[in-house]
Amino acid sequence: MYFITFFSGIVLSAVNDKKNIAFKVFSILIAIVAFFRYGVGVDYFAYEYLFNRLNPSVIQELVAGLDNQELLFRLIGSIFKSIGLPFQIYLIVIASVNIYFISKICKKYSKNPIFSLFLYFCFYYFVWTFSGLRQGLTLAIGIYYFLECSENKKTIKFLVITLLLTLIHASAVLLFPLYFVTKINIGKRRLFYFSVCVMIFSFMPLGNILTNFNWLPFISRIIPYMDSGGIINILDFQGLGRIAFLAIALIYYDVYAKQNEMCRRIMNIYVISLLIYFIFSFSEITAARLSIYGKLLDIIILPNIFYIYREKINKVIFAFCLIILASLYFFKELGTLDKQTKIQYANKTFVPYTNIINKDSYKFDNMYYELLKNRR
């Protein structure tokens, strides 16, 4: 199913019809894959376990909830339980909201919405639609209103929406400074110098220094996710990939930014978000989560660069390179999904699409899966 979706995205991207029929078909396809999944993603059973612990009374969940997830997210789950809706419907609604806003971003800001959605599928879908439900919601909703409010100068609307999103996942607070950075005229030269300084800074043993400040609330939350950091993280797949994206952004900055003011803002936030990753590279999980809000914009930037080229041969070469890049990320993300989901299956050739129909055919090496199985 994953490969069917992957190749469908490539084929439908070439269609890119004006009536958006192909876009709707691909949107429905990735929605179906998300709706009927079972056990897919590192957090699937953890979220089911937490859902089962929610109080069906919204008031009781508000007063005496058992877990520490953000308040609004817990209350949403409690509402589902109060009206008797099962966990799978809960997942379907969350996936629907996620894919709806990602689709709106692609449709409104990309010259090839299908290819943008295809890049989302290859780069981010398995993490932010399948696993990170809370941040996946804030990511999709937050970036859509970030762009829409920035374009139409609706600051109050943006502040209110973002404040609500922090009650779903606290990382949405990063949208506040990013929004106001869009109002600063930075320019390519400053971004280049800032990039050089950040890359040098990222080689410092910052993780070791921060352990001395574990009494600070924000630092204490990062410390459990710290790893070796430094040059090891920068030169792994994630780090090298972001270096490549940063190089692309700086190379195409002038020609992309001169199209209009919104393009300049998008490129600025994209570069700054990539640099946030390298600042926090001592903790790869933290770096990825904090930088994702601007990093997501590459699903818009990369397809739009394709249309900057005028000669057909250049378009073909660039499109070929994008497909190769998307393929590398797709196979990397699919392999990570398989490793984290820990499905027990005999055929190691293809990662199976476990769903609500064939779920009894598979077992999972997962602590929460065992806990849930023992409760049933």
Note the pLDDT of residue 363: 84
Q: Which residues face 161 on adjacent strands?
A: none
Region of 347 please: left (phi>0), alpha (psi -120 to 50) or beta.
Answer: beta
pLDDT band at 20 (very low <50, low <70, confident <90, very high): confident
The C-alpha atoms of residue 304 and residue 287 are separated, in whole angstroms, by: 26
Q: Tokens 């859509």 map to which residue?
A: 144
pLDDT band at 231 (very low <50, low <70, confident <90, very high): low
pLDDT digits (tens, 9 = 90+) for 170-203: 999 999 999 988 888 888 888 898 888 888 877 7
The reported pTM is: 0.89
The kind and range of the H/E element at 239 are helix 237-251
The C-alpha atoms of residue 281 and residue 349 are separated, in whole angstroms, by: 33
Q: What percent of the chain has pLDDT over 70?
A: 89
Tell me if residue 37 falls in helix, strand or coil: strand
DSSP 355: B
Please name the residues in contact with 7: beta carbons below 8 A apart, sequence gap of 6 or more. none
Q: Which residues face 364 on adjacent strands?
A: 343
Q: Tokens 């953000």 map to which residue?
A: 70
The C-alpha atoms of residue 297 and residue 178 are separated, in whole angstroms, by: 13
Sign of the CA dihedral 252, 323, 335, 240?
negative
pLDDT band at 235 (very low <50, low <70, confident <90, very high): low
Q: How many CB atoms lie within 10 A of CB 350?
A: 12
The C-alpha atoms of residue 100 and residue 115 are separated, in whole angstroms, by: 16
Of the listed ranges 138-142, 263-267, 283-287, the least confidently predicted one is: 283-287
| Confidence check: pLDDT of 338 > 80 | yes
pLDDT digits (tens, 9 = 90+) for 53-107: 998 888 888 887 778 888 999 999 999 999 999 999 999 999 999 999 999 999 9
Q: How many CB atoms lie within 10 A of CB 190?
A: 12
Note the pLDDT of residue 206: 60
Please name the residues in contact with 154: beta carbons below 8 A apart, sequence gap of 6 or more. 148
Cα–Cα distance list, 193 to 31, 148, 190, 250, 375 (Å) = 42, 29, 5, 11, 57
Structure tokens at 1: 């199913």
- Nearest Cα neighbor of 111 from 323, 322, 320, 302 is 302
**C-beta of residue 303 within 8 angstroms of C-beta of residue 256:** no
Note the pLDDT of residue 346: 57
pLDDT band at 227 (very low <50, low <70, confident <90, very high): low
